[in-house]
Chains A and B, each alone.
Chain A
Amino acid sequence: MLLQLVEPGQTSDPHSHSKGIVVGIDLGTTHSVVAFVQDEKPYVLDIEGKGPLIPSILSLTDTGIDVGVVAEEKLSSTKRLMGRGSQDPLCAQFSQLIQGEGVRLQLGSYSLTPVEVASQILSYIRDQVEKAFEKPLEAAVITVPAYFDEAARVATKQAAALAGIKVLRLLNEPTAAALAYGLATGAEGIYAIYDFGGGTFDLSLLKLEGGVFQVLATGGDLNLGGDDIDHAVATHFKLKDLAHARVLKEALSVNESVEGVSRANLEEIALPFVKKTLEITHNVFREGGFLPRDVNGIVLVGGMTRMPLVRREVSTFFEKVPLCDIDPDQAVALGAALSAHGLSYGSETLLLDVTPLSLGLETMGGLVEKIIPRNSPLPALASQEFTTYQDGQGGMLIHIVQGEREFVQDCRSLARFELKGLPSLPAGAARVRVDFTVDVEGLLAVTAFEKTTGLSQYIEVRPSYGLDEETIAAMILESQQYGKKDVEKRVETEQKLKVEWREDSLFSKS
């Protein structure tokens, strides 16, 4: 074991992290990248001499299912389905979707959830890291799109738990990229991170000052990525294979003409998508109270930013040439590695992120009352007081939603729970205070507190189709018993133990 020189008082306990290695993982839609820190500098891990990019693809092989080889039959871009319901329009993009309850995809004889596919990719990454460093993977920072909602974030954590990876924290992708860029260049000022990846678009506006990375505003679209352009290209040129469309798109970023298609043809198809990113960018600036030309620099992240059209449009919008001194495919993983290192060994850097979506409560008539507006700095705390409207009312229904729309039906339902066992009091006399806490990862916890009697209840919010921790523990145990590749058994367990969401025992005396 090698000792590191640290700030006074920051020496961590022996063996708290020193047994293994900590890494940053960019779990991307089209590919994933893993990075580590050595000598305070981040590096991406080369995978078996093939470069740092790991296709986020699960393939069917002779022996089972595998990541790292790309076979004829495969599942790709399943990150887009993380935390989504089967009614989501995006499901239509997946031909392997199994009709029925929940989101499941068919791969040979396997039926897999997006969480399970992600856990297979993460297991592969863990194996690669452990092989390269010859020590166990201790913990990781995993990145998610800034615009990921609660359900997708929880799903990502579940995938990591299934893969046996301890998550130091989830980190927003644009924030990670800003960290990598800021620490590499020592840049200070206002920076825009334009992150256009395979599945999602994120725009974050950050202030970099004296080691503080303060996110001022963020915005994005989970249904806007290179994949959507691939689909449009495939439809336009009547291509059967989506991969063909992608190859064509990528080749036209370098060449003026490929297979009789000119770059101008492609740009015509891609332009509406690029315009949409700029519309989102415009709104983020308006909310943040800045003008695009006020920024000191624009950092490009994500494979889509290699497209000349994107660079041109971004330059015009900002009246400034975007920075490209950091590899758009690696920035996120490098930042995640720096964050993982900082969380394990101490660091002078401070990341102040915000919540991408508003959190609200259902009120009379299906309307939403916002309690934590989007772009609030994290962690965020909000309290709301409720009272009873009937004499002796014993319970109270609380419905928490996420989103920007006015009506409950247009927002994402996070949790619906009943406060039970209220003391028998006249209408309006019971006072229930509900505290909402969103932690630095963007995850919500709710505590209810009845003031007249001092009863309290803690509720951990889980997306309605998620798994509780016991189920995950059972699944991990199973995966150890039956081997990693034996997913079908796990699937059965999951169905048996499926819970709507978890609620700790109702009202116990505090």
Chain B
Amino acid sequence: MVNLFMFDPFEVLGLKKEYSLDLKTLEQHYFKGQRNKHPDRLTHVQEGEKVEALKQSAVLNQAYLLLKDPLQRAEWILKAEGLDLLNPDAEILLQVMNWNERFESGENIKPELRQEEEKLFKDLEMAFEEQAYTKARFVLCRLIYVQKVLKDIELSHI
């Protein structure tokens, strides 16, 4: 897949490198970029330029997708700070097992997980605000697992 260090999505979209980012601002920058680079807008340019524009337009799409997802956004900033994703510790793994067991026994654990997710998102935002990257990495690891369990629950409903 996309090498996270191939490009700087914030730079591509002309945004400040910050975790806190509202969707509206992201979209405005993304649409503005595509207005200049989307192949449909460049029907009168030379063939060679078209190929280059196609690439740039695709990179804009990648940057947009990456930044739209708060987890990928957090991961990218942490990597830029030299921090790779944390491996799960025993505590979170036990917690996941516990959730799975309770779900399989028929308990509705969704509200609890949603609450946990919301709390973790707040913690993550705070950690980035304080530039406490080690803490942010710890919170991100938990958030990834909470979302994974939530997703599994949703998929099992089909």
- Which A residues contact B (CB, under 8 angstroms)? 10, 12-13, 16, 168-169, 209-210, 212, 214, 286, 342-344, 350-352, 371, 376-384, 437, 439-440
Q: With A13-B44, A344-B43, A350-B31 as known contacts, state yes or no: A381 contacts B65, CB within 8 Å.
A: no
- Check B58–A351 contact: CB distance below 8 A: no
* Smallest Cβ-Cβ distance to B62: which chain A residue: A381
CB-defined contacts of A439 to chain B, threshold 8 Å: 39, 54
- Check A376–B39 contact: CB distance below 8 A: no
The 10 closest A-B pairs by CB, nearest first: A381-B58, A377-B61, A379-B58, A212-B31, A343-B43, A440-B39, A379-B54, A379-B57, A12-B44, A380-B58
Q: A377 contacts which of B1, B54, B65, B154 (Cβ < 8 Å)?
A: B65
Size of B's binding interface in residues, CB under 8 A:
24
CB-defined contacts of B44 to chain A, threshold 8 Å: 10, 12-13, 16
Whether a CB of chain A sits under 8 angstroms from the CB of B49 is no
* Residues 1-16 of chain B, each 1 if its beta carbon lies under 8 Å from chain A, else 0: 1110010000000000
- Check A440–B40 contact: CB distance below 8 A: yes
Q: With A212-B31, A382-B2 as known contacts, state yes or no: A351 contacts B54, CB within 8 Å.
A: no
- Check B31–A210 contact: CB distance below 8 A: yes
- Most chain-B Cβ atoms within 10 A of its Cβ — which of A214, A371, A377, A440? A377
Shortest B73–chain A CB gap in Å is 16
- Check A382–B43 contact: CB distance below 8 A: no
- Most chain-A Cβ atoms within 10 A of its Cβ — which of B3, B34, B44? B44
- Check A380–B38 contact: CB distance below 8 A: no
For chain B, what secondary structure do more than half of its interface residues adopt (helix, strand, loop), or is it mixed? Answer: helix
Shortest A15–chain B CB gap in Å is 13
CB-defined contacts of A371 to chain B, threshold 8 Å: 1
Shortest A13–chain B CB gap in Å is 7
CA distance A380 to B66 in the complex (A): 13
* Smallest Cβ-Cβ distance to B53: which chain A residue: A379
Q: A437 contacts which of B31, B35, B38, B58 (Cβ < 8 Å)?
A: B58
Q: Show 27 residue pairs from A and B whose CB-CB distance is below 8 angstroms, ordered by the A residue.
A: A12-B44, A16-B44, A209-B27, A210-B31, A286-B154, A343-B43, A344-B43, A350-B34, A350-B40, A371-B1, A376-B61, A377-B64, A377-B65, A379-B39, A380-B58, A380-B61, A380-B62, A381-B58, A381-B61, A382-B1, A382-B2, A383-B3, A383-B6, A437-B54, A437-B55, A437-B58, A439-B54
- Which B residues contact A (CB, under 8 angstroms)? 1-3, 6, 27, 31, 34-35, 38-41, 43-44, 54-55, 57-59, 61-62, 64-65, 154
CA distance A343 to B42 in the complex (A): 8
* Smallest Cβ-Cβ distance to B64: which chain A residue: A377
Q: With A350-B34, A381-B55 as known contacts, state yes or no: A169 contacts B61, CB within 8 Å.
A: no
CA distance A378 to B44 in the complex (A): 20
CA distance A342 to B35 in the complex (A): 13
CA distance A13 to B45 in the complex (A): 11
CA distance A135 to B59 in the complex (A): 40
CB-defined contacts of B34 to chain A, threshold 8 Å: 212, 350, 352
CA distance A342 to B1 in the complex (A): 34
Shortest B1–chain A CB gap in Å is 7
CB-defined contacts of B154 to chain A, threshold 8 Å: 286
Shortest B134–chain A CB gap in Å is 30
- Check B38–A352 contact: CB distance below 8 A: yes
- Check B40–A343 contact: CB distance below 8 A: yes
CB-defined contacts of A383 to chain B, threshold 8 Å: 2-3, 6
CA distance A344 to B43 in the complex (A): 7
CB-defined contacts of B58 to chain A, threshold 8 Å: 379-381, 437
